[in-house]
Amino acid sequence: MCDQTFLVNVFGSCDKCFKQRALRPVFKKSQQLSYCSLCAEIMATDGLHENETLASLKSEAESLKGKLEEERAKLHDVELHQVAERVEALGQFVMKTRRTLKGHGNKVLCMDWCKDKRRIVSSSQDGKVIVWDSFTTNKEHAVTMPCTWVMACAYAPSGCAIACGGLDNKCSVYPLTFDKNENMAAKKKSVAMHTNYLSACSFTNSDMQILTASGDGTCALWDVESGQLLQSFHGHGADVLCLDLAPSETGNTFVSGGCDKKAMVWDMRSGQCVQAFETHESDINSVRYYPSGDAFASGSDDATCRLYDLRADREVAIYSKESIIFGASSVDFSLSGRLLFAGYNDYTINVWDVLKGSRVSILFGHENRVSTLRVSPDGTAFCSGSWDHTLRVWA
């Protein structure tokens, strides 16, 4: 089998042809070499054992995948909704728009809550990143990015910084201050550099490290202060669209989803994929851990949301209806984990009973597709962003 792993590109002299080109660090039998793309491809071909071809390796992988599914099926003895039959049904569920945040000049693409349960950061196709006071709807900070389509933004755990990025292929970190006259752009740090657009970012449990996902098919862990790449995660076969960090104190795992229809769980220490699930029929737009960290939900363009139990190593529930024909763009759990909020491309937000698999409410208000959705840290409200240029706080 191939024993090479490719990481991020750098520029320098190729160790094989000695030409000045963009390089890929190649690890072969624990030895690190720097090869250009052409030499790396030749190396990968030479690394195949005798009588092995790409077709035979793919066939072997499919065979192993089939055996894995057979073992999972043996343990699939009961459905989640059957276990939850004796659980009391949820009563009347009513949520309304309490605040509408207006200020973006184009589609809202991403948002995140501050740990103080009050402030929100949002990013938009207009190239603006805005920090809001969700109580008063006032704008506290605004940053104009050097590109449009700012597809990712995140609040630092301390609440003293924000991260954002998009078509510039970078993740930039801006410190937040109370001095209104201070130029935030002057203190910007360019932390991460991918070879394609930045699709998602999330701080770890401190302000010092940040996870990023990209259209180059990789995820990466970076040191915020130095901008150094700490770990890269390779395994997706197409654009990575979303990620979420496990809600544990150590925070050593995260889940990602992408255009290859796969949801993958990663160990941040080793850089290895420890679990993979491929049951969706289209792109996975959003992933979110269950509050306990033992499961996660995903939302996809196949118009379904799905729940995966990490201990059972399988999908345990599908949230869908025949009347729902548009893709799910964003998902998040209530603080208790009983409810799953899902934003859809048909302008609605559906609320699902996680245990029983039934829809308990539909929320209307947005005038275009719902692109992002997050529950507040204290669970008392959630915020949604839309292509109608607005954000709404629901409670």
Domains of the chain: residue spans and CATH = 10-74 (no CATH), 90-394 (2.130.10.10)
Letter for the amino acid at 372? Answer: T
Model confidence at 43: pLDDT above 90:
no
- Give the model's pLDDT for residue 8: 45
Residue 359 tokens read as 């829809």
Percent of the residues in the chain that have a pLDDT greater than 90, as a whole number? 72
User: For residue 159, what is the DSSP state?
Assistant: S
With contact defined as beta carbons under 8 Å apart, do 268 and 252 qualify?
Answer: yes
Pairing of strands 152-155, 108-113: unpaired
Confidence of residue 104 (pLDDT cuts 50, 70, 90): very high
- Give the model's pLDDT for residue 7: 42
Percent of the residues in the chain that have a pLDDT greater than 70, as a whole number? 90
Cβ partners under 8 Å of residue 67, min gap 6? none
Confidence of residue 28 (pLDDT cuts 50, 70, 90): low
With contact defined as beta carbons under 8 Å apart, do 35 and 13 qualify?
Answer: no
Across the chain, mean pLDDT equals 90
Average pLDDT over residues 278-289: 98
Token pair 């059957």 is found at 82
- Give the model's pLDDT for residue 244: 98
Model confidence at 179: pLDDT above 60:
yes
Confidence of residue 6 (pLDDT cuts 50, 70, 90): very low
Candidates 142, 138, 97; CA nearest to 124 is: 142
Model confidence at 139: pLDDT above 50:
yes
Whole-prediction pTM: 0.84
pLDDT digits (tens, 9 = 90+) for 286-315: 999 999 999 999 999 999 999 999 999 999
- Give the model's pLDDT for residue 26: 67
With contact defined as beta carbons under 8 Å apart, do 145 and 184 qualify?
Answer: no
Of the two residues 370 and 57, the one the predictor is more confident about is: 370
With contact defined as beta carbons under 8 Å apart, do 124 and 109 qualify?
Answer: yes
CA 267/CA 274 separation, integer angstroms: 7
Burial of 200 (0-12, 13-18, 19+ CB in 10 A): buried
Confidence of residue 73 (pLDDT cuts 50, 70, 90): confident
Candidates 324, 262, 248; CA nearest to 291 is: 248
User: For residue 6, what is the DSSP state?
Assistant: B
CA 277/CA 315 separation, integer angstroms: 8
CA 242/CA 60 separation, integer angstroms: 29
With contact defined as beta carbons under 8 Å apart, do 153 and 198 qualify?
Answer: no
Burial letters for 271-286: b for 16+ Cβ neighbours within 10 Å, e otherwise?
bebeeebebbeebbbb
Confidence of residue 352 (pLDDT cuts 50, 70, 90): very high
Which segment of 25-34, 105-114, 270-279, 352-361 scores lowest on mean pLDDT?
Answer: 25-34
Model confidence at 4: pLDDT above 60:
no
In what helix (H) or strand (E) does residue 155 lie, and over which residues does it extend? Answer: strand 152-155
Model confidence at 31: pLDDT above 80:
no
Which segment of 34-38, 56-60, 201-205 scores lowest on mean pLDDT?
Answer: 34-38
- Give the model's pLDDT for residue 47: 56
Count of positions (residues) in the chain: 395
Of the two residues 307 and 182, the one the predictor is more confident about is: 307
Burial letters for 322-348: b for 16+ Cβ neighbours within 10 Å, e otherwise?
eebeebbbbbbbeeebbbbbbbbbebb
Letter for the amino acid at 285? Answer: N
Residue 355 tokens read as 């245990």
